[in-house]
Amino acid sequence: MTSIVFAEGAKETSQRKNSDRKTISVLLRSSESGEPYRVWQPLFDEFAEKHNLKVEYELIPNDADYANKLQLYISSNQLPDFYGCANGTFSKAALSSGQLVNVGQELKDMGKFDMLNKAVVDFLTDSDDGNMYLLPQGLYCEFFFYRKDIFEQYGLEIPKTWSDFTKVCEVLKEKNITPVVVGGKDNWQLMRYLSFIPWRVTHDGFIYDYIEGSDSFMQNAYAHAGVELLHDMGTKGYFQIGFTSTNYSDSVNLFFGGTGAMYYAGTGMISNASEMFADGKLGIFPVPDMQGVENISTNVPIHAGFGFGFNAETYDDTMKEFLSFAMDNFSKACYDAGIFSPLKDEVPEGLDPLFYEIKSLFDDAKQSWVSWDDKLDSATLTSMGDEQQELALGMISPKQFESDMDNVIEANR
């Protein structure tokens, strides 16, 4: 039995004894067509039917509204049995108020922890105590799409290093082909180019040290290389004309509409890329290495999407049994929803061929992606978004960008 309440619906949550549980309450940052609901709803509904329980869903699609409601529930000690929660400020608040189960320990006790992809575990591991408190939404990875037909026409090879990458860009530009399409109006797209090299060499080392004040753009050679890369990509014409006015949706339409030779995206673009891939026009490659130094072994940014936690105050034998049930059926739920499972299970037969091509990129991944936009405080993030656009447009120099951002983080620390 299922009931759905949208956004403003009332919810009653109180500590229950296992014997009198009649319902399971679920809060998701999702609509009925969203991935979180499409993954978790079949699992909860099947489990509830077997145990004669009612599932009460509260769905909030809007990010800001969800954050406000989650904060309200945490503060008032009214979190539902199961809820979506990003790994960071909210998970720490839920943990400190005693409303978050150490789900990693639960999975270890069940003998199911090793079912998870290691990079996903890394992404969800708490930076303070090394525990894992959240389940993943799925496995998401990012990579470059490239036009095989264009590369073959000009005798280009897949770039292994960033030096190779910019050389390929230069050749394409000389042939009057847009080397790279980017949605530069959205902060995260340009920020990827800032953070690629520091991530490949230091993983999360630079960004955490930068935030804490023990490192800076001016001092760190790999952060400096990232700044130079973004400056070159923008000022040398390697991005499309008007890239800072192009949002992500428009950039998707541009590339899969036939503009440009390379595009950084990820598993969310499988349906967009399917036809060109089937026609042999499209290939994929991972994030290049920083040349001349040791890089981390993982070269495909992997994350787990939004996390999901169990309320420790209402976590009883029934919810423990649901966790075990969910782990046993999670891969099917993910692939039915059209996303990769975070478990090590094989990709089922009959999916788009790109699923099998992409899977080979992350089978052995151990380290997760580190999103600077998730780590930086909002004031610093806003400043970096403005500064990176000016950097890519050549309005400020790499040195000026580094000085400005080192001053900004100091002022906001």
- Does the pLDDT value for residue 302 go beyond 90? yes
Q: Which of 82-91, 107-116, 120-129 has the highest mean pLDDT?
A: 107-116
Q: 18: pLDDT confidence band, cut at 50, 70 and 90?
A: low
Contact 87, 126 (CB under 8 A): yes
Residue bearing the bigger pLDDT, 313 or 18? 313
- Does the pLDDT value for residue 270 go beyond 80? yes
User: What per-residue confidence (pLDDT) applies to 133?
Assistant: 97
- Does the pLDDT value for residue 400 go beyond 50? yes
Question: pLDDT tens digit string along 253-264?
Answer: 999 999 999 999
User: What per-residue confidence (pLDDT) applies to 14?
Assistant: 42
Residue 123's Cα: distance from chain center in Å? 9
Contact 230, 194 (CB under 8 A): yes
Q: What is the mean pLDDT of residues 250-255?
A: 97
Least confident of 1-15, 29-43, 319-333: 1-15
Q: What is the mean pLDDT of residues 248-274?
A: 95
- Does the pLDDT value for residue 2 go beyond 90? no
Residue bearing the bigger pLDDT, 365 or 45? 45
Please report, in angstroms and rounded to a whole number, the separation of the first and last CA atoms in the chain. Answer: 49
Q: What is the mean pLDDT of residues 382-395?
A: 97
Average pLDDT, the chain: 93
- Does the pLDDT value for residue 347 go beyond 60? yes
The helix/strand/coil state of 236 is coil
Q: State percent of the chain over pLDDT 70.
A: 95
Measuring CA to CA, which residue among 231, 241, 229 is closest to residue 177? 241
Q: State percent of the chain over pLDDT 90.
A: 86
- According to DSSP, residue 143 is labeled E
- Does the pLDDT value for residue 7 go beyond 60? no
User: What per-residue confidence (pLDDT) applies to 89?
Assistant: 81
Rounded Cα gap, residues 152 and 138, in angstroms: 34
Q: What is the mean pLDDT of residues 266-280?
A: 93
Residue bearing the bigger pLDDT, 368 or 6? 368
Q: What does the block give as tokens for 397?
A: 């120099």
As a three-state string, the secondary structure of 86-128 is: CCCHHHHHHHHCCCCCCHHHHHHHHCCHHHECHHHHHHHECCC
Rounded Cα gap, residues 120 and 4, in angstroms: 30
Residue bearing the bigger pLDDT, 399 or 365? 399
Q: How many CA atoms lie within 13 A of 391 on its CB side?
A: 29
- Does the pLDDT value for residue 13 go beyond 80? no
Contact 80, 13 (CB under 8 A): yes
Q: How many DSSP H helices and E strands does the chain contain?
A: 17, 10
Q: 179: pLDDT confidence band, cut at 50, 70 and 90?
A: very high
User: What per-residue confidence (pLDDT) applies to 132?
Assistant: 97
Question: pLDDT tens digit string along 180-211?
Answer: 999 999 988 999 999 999 999 999 999 999 99
Question: pLDDT tens digit string along 76-104?
Answer: 999 999 999 988 888 999 999 999 999 99
Question: pLDDT tens digit string along 26-57?
Answer: 999 999 999 999 999 999 999 999 999 999 99
User: What per-residue confidence (pLDDT) applies to 11?
Assistant: 41
Residue bearing the bigger pLDDT, 286 or 17? 286
User: What per-residue confidence (pLDDT) applies to 8?
Assistant: 42
Residue bearing the bigger pLDDT, 383 or 19? 383
